[in-house]
Chains A and B, each alone.
Chain A
Amino acid sequence: MSLMRIQKPKTRKGKVALLEREPKVIENIKNVLILEGRKVSVTVKELLKDICTFKKPNCKTLSRNNDITPFEDQNPLEILAKKSDCHLFIFGSHSKKRPDNIVMGRVYDDQILDMIEFGVKQYKALKDFKNEKIDVNCKPCLVFNGDQWSKSEELRRIKSLFVDMFHVEDVESIRLQGIEHVISFTLTEDLTIMIRSYKILLKKSGLQTPRIELTEIGPSIDFSIRRTKIASKDLYKLAHKKPAELKVTKKKNVSRDALGNVNARVHIDKQVINKLQLRKMKGLKKTAEEKKTARQLKKAASKEN
């Protein structure tokens, strides 16, 4: 729709940039906007920085402080997200009422879909773990521990938000050795979310499948849930709508065998053999007399009717 703007893009580059922001069937990776509120504590600052290192090519960090309170007025946040073309955001702030505050959320169609406020109970930064880290931009495994995750709609949304935030990108294939990072989310009885991140070590097991060992590489975060704002069910459902082009429609009577051959059943109408036109021959032609009698018969039949 960018070409339907009043102001036409002046350069080709500008046009491409606008087209890039248009609704697509297969969407781009969601970028994360990382920003700070009026005041931030050291903990929150470190946390934002660590998340940034994990999300590296797919994140944008705003360096200045922003006079924003997302739960009171979400408009400025929406504007910032739209401007920087981000559909996920992490907002850090610190106040007397809500110390070490983190707001995570996501945007659908330039509107905030859901937004969860966390309080940082405990934090151990990435740099506090003195060991070998992982490659940048590797797809992490996500582990959700605990039976609480499906207890309420809010918790389900939080889980979905975490997956959205950390899953990096949908991939068709992955290098087996490239599975080297795991983020675990543990939800306890008192609704504390413990986020831990480990490096995966593939050890020999005597079998083809390796034995897994983990070493913690940080950061380690304990979150308590504060305020939440989740989308209505209708909007949430609408946001999950899949384009018709991607829906797989099953073709009837068509199958593929193991060798990749297509097997299909074709239905054909019954053949009318009597009226089949064969080769025309002079000898089989009707004579003038025959034609005449046929015509008369037809006439008589029509008169009777």
Chain B
Amino acid sequence: MDIVKEVLEKQAKESAKYKSIEVIKHEEVKIDCGRLMISDPNSFTEELKENTETYIQNLTRDNVQLLVNSIWQLPTERLDEHIVVKLPKPTFALPRARKLPVPKPLTKWEQFAKAKGIKKRTKDKKVWDEELGKWVPTYGYQKFKADRDKNWVLEVPKNIDPMTDMFQKKKDLKNERVAKNELARMKNIARAQKVDVPRVGFVSEDSATAKELHIASTIAKHSTASVGKFQESLPKEKNARGIGVRELIPGAATKRKRPLDNKTERTEQIETVQKILNKRPKIDVEKAVQIQKREERIERENKPAEPKKKKGSHPKQVKKFGKKPKSGIGRKGNRKPAGRKRR
């Protein structure tokens, strides 16, 4: 027993050397270890006004002690000579800085590829060129140089002017492709942002083909208030036709629907049939009541009037027949109602 006492005494002495780490609070404090945050809902004592600075410091010390106590309970790790504690996820929620990310809208090509199940094939960054005998980049940096080395001479076809600069022509074609791609990009942006873009028009007059001019003239003809109904037409003149032309002409029917596939057509037909078969007569209660009333009234009026019975017990309450006499109307009493009863 002596040994136990001794040990206990020793420990008590040891602990007396240090200050306690225990803190007592009336109301429970909220600790968020993930955010290293503690909220103390206990109200202050009078000491705050007298000795503000020391009071706040002591209060904060107690709260930090509580926070540290709970942090020291968390699982620790050793990470190159430092003891690291793993913090839980913070519970105190903070607002975001930006909206939630939304998926990028698909481009027209991407939509098409998705519908058709076309997958993107990755090209190699460099390919072996037999002619040059070296690896040549497929795109980007140094591609231009390799191309110049390979196609250092170009043949002029027989059917065109022999003085044409084929290099310039090649350059122009490339520029045109770039411009086309840029236009497609713009259209994709417009589609993603739901902006209306005019579909009519061509770049310049000299680049318009006969077909384009025909479309333009047809559109112009139909662009009157009466959608071209009273416009004179040349003999044998016809409206422009082609893919997507119909939609451009004002007044023409909007896009024709594609023929449905078997399955959807079937379901749609069944739906319409079922809709018709499932129809129930609608009952307009108000109207029904009106009709009923009218019928009753007609029946009543057609019947010969019965002499009214006198009630013996309440002779005074017997109603006088007929309506209350109105001023300005000569006739009294047995007046047949004229016309419809107005309500």
Contacts of B192 in A (CB 8 A): 4
Closest to A87 in B: B97
Q: Is A160's CB within 8 Å of the partner chain B?
A: yes
Whether B18 contacts A214 by the Cβ 8 Å rule is: no
On whether A212 and B101 interact (CB within 8 A), knowing A4-B189, A142-B37, the answer reads: no
Interface digits, B62-74 against A, CB 8 Å rule (1 contact, 0 not)?
0111011101100
Are A214 and B57 closer than 8 Å at their CB atoms? yes
Taking a contact as CB atoms closer than 8 A, the residue among B18, B34, B48, B83 that contacts A170 in the complex is: B34
- With A160-B94, A167-B37, A170-B90 known as contacts, the answer to whether A176 contacts B76 (CB < 8 A) is yes
Interface residues of B in 1-50 (CB under 8 A from A): 14-15, 17-21, 34-44, 48
Using Cβ atoms and an 8 Å threshold, which residues of chain A touch B48?
Answer: 188
Is the Cβ of A144 less than 8 Å from the Cβ of B71?
no
Q: Is the CB of B40 within 8 A of A209?
A: no
Residue numbers of A with Cβ under 8 A of B are 1, 3-6, 22-25, 27-28, 30, 87, 106-109, 113, 139-147, 149-150, 159-160, 163-164, 167, 170-177, 179, 182, 184, 186, 188-189, 194, 196, 198, 200, 202-214, 216, 236, 239-241, 243
Query: Is B85 an interface position by the 8 A CB rule?
Result: yes
Contact B38 A143 (CB under 8 A): yes
> Shortest 9 CB-CB distances between A and B: which pairs?
A239-B95, A87-B97, A184-B60, A23-B101, A144-B39, A23-B98, A209-B72, A142-B37, A141-B36
Q: A173 to B61, alpha carbons, bound, how many Å?
A: 23
Binding site for A on B (CB under 8 A): 14-15, 17-21, 34-44, 48, 52-53, 56-57, 59-61, 63-65, 67-69, 71-72, 76-77, 79, 82-87, 90, 92-102, 104-105, 186, 188-189, 192-193
- Let me know if B44 and A208 touch, CB within 8 A: no
Q: Given contacts A144-B37, A186-B56, A206-B18, list 4 more A-B pairs with CB under 8 A.
A: A108-B95, A163-B94, A205-B18, A205-B19
B36 and A243 contacting across the interface, CB-CB below 8 Å: no
Known: A139-B36, A171-B87. A211 touches B65 (CB 8 A): yes
Given contacts A143-B40, A163-B37, A212-B64, contact A1 B57 (CB under 8 A): no
Contacts A174-B87, A177-B82: A241 and B40 contacting too (C-beta < 8 A)?
no
Which residues of A lie under 8 Å from residue B41 when comparing CB positions? 146-147, 149-150
**In the complex the two chains form, is A142's CB within 8 Å of B72's CB?**
no
Interchain CB contact under 8 A, A241 and B96: yes
Contact status A142-B186, CB under 8 Å? no
Is B56 touching A145 in the complex (CB atoms < 8 A)? yes
Question: Given A184-B56, A239-B96, A240-B95, do A167 and B35 touch, yes or no (CB 8 Å)?
Answer: yes
- Shortest beta-carbon distance, B37 to chain A, in Å? 4
Contact A108:B85 (CB < 8 A) given known A4-B192, A206-B14, A214-B64:
no
Indicate if the CB atoms of B68 and A210 lie closer than 8 Å: yes
Q: How far is the CB of A138 from chain B (nearest CB, A)?
A: 10
The answer to whether B98 touches A24 (Cβ under 8 A) is yes
Give Cα A301–Cα B293 distance, bound, in whole angstroms: 63
Which of B20, B44, B52, B87 has a CB less than 8 Å from the CB of A173? B87
Specify which of A87, A142, A177, A202 is in contact with B38 (CB 8 Å cutoff). A142
Q: Which of B20, B82, B96 counts the most A-chain CB atoms under 10 A from its CB?
A: B96
Give the residue among A22, A140, A174, A240 with the most B Cβ atoms within 10 A. A174
CB distance from A141 to the nearest CB of B (A): 4
Q: List 12 A-B contacts (CB under 8 A).
A: A4-B105, A23-B102, A109-B98, A143-B60, A149-B39, A163-B35, A163-B37, A167-B35, A179-B36, A203-B19, A205-B19, A206-B15
User: Which residues in B have their C-beta under 8 angstroms from that of A145?
Assistant: 40, 44, 56, 59-60, 63
* A176 & B56 in contact (Cβ 8 Å cutoff): no
- Is there an interface contact between A146 and B40, defined as CB atoms closer than 8 Å? yes
* Alpha-carbon distance between A30 and B98 when the two chains are bound, in angstroms: 10
How far, in whole Å, are A221 and B99 apart by their CA atoms in the complex?
Answer: 34
B247 to chain A, nearest CB (A): 26
Contact of A211 among B18, B43, B105 (CB under 8 A): B18
Q: How far does the Cβ of A177 sit from chain B's closest Cβ, in whole Å?
A: 7
- Chain A residues with Cβ below 8 Å from B97 are 27-28, 30, 87, 107-108
Contacts A1-B104, A22-B101, A143-B60 given; indicate if A172 touches B87 (C-beta within 8 A).
yes
Instruction: Tell whether, in the assembled complex, residue A216 and residue B64 are in contact, meaning their CB atoms are under 8 Å apart.
Output: no
A141, B87: Cβ atoms closer than 8 Å: no
Whether A174 pairs with B85 at a CB distance below 8 angstroms is yes
* Chain A residues, CB < 8 A from B64: 141, 143, 182, 198, 200, 212, 214
Neighbouring A residues of B42 by C-beta, 8 Å = 147
- Point out the residue from A3, A27, A143, A171 that lies within 8 Å of B96, measured CB to CB: A27
Cα distance A267–B15 when bound, in Å?
58
B72: A residues at CB distance < 8 A: 176, 208-210
Contact assessment for A25 and B101 in the assembled complex, using a CB-CB cutoff below 8 Å: yes
Chain B residues, CB < 8 A from A176: 71-72, 76, 82-85
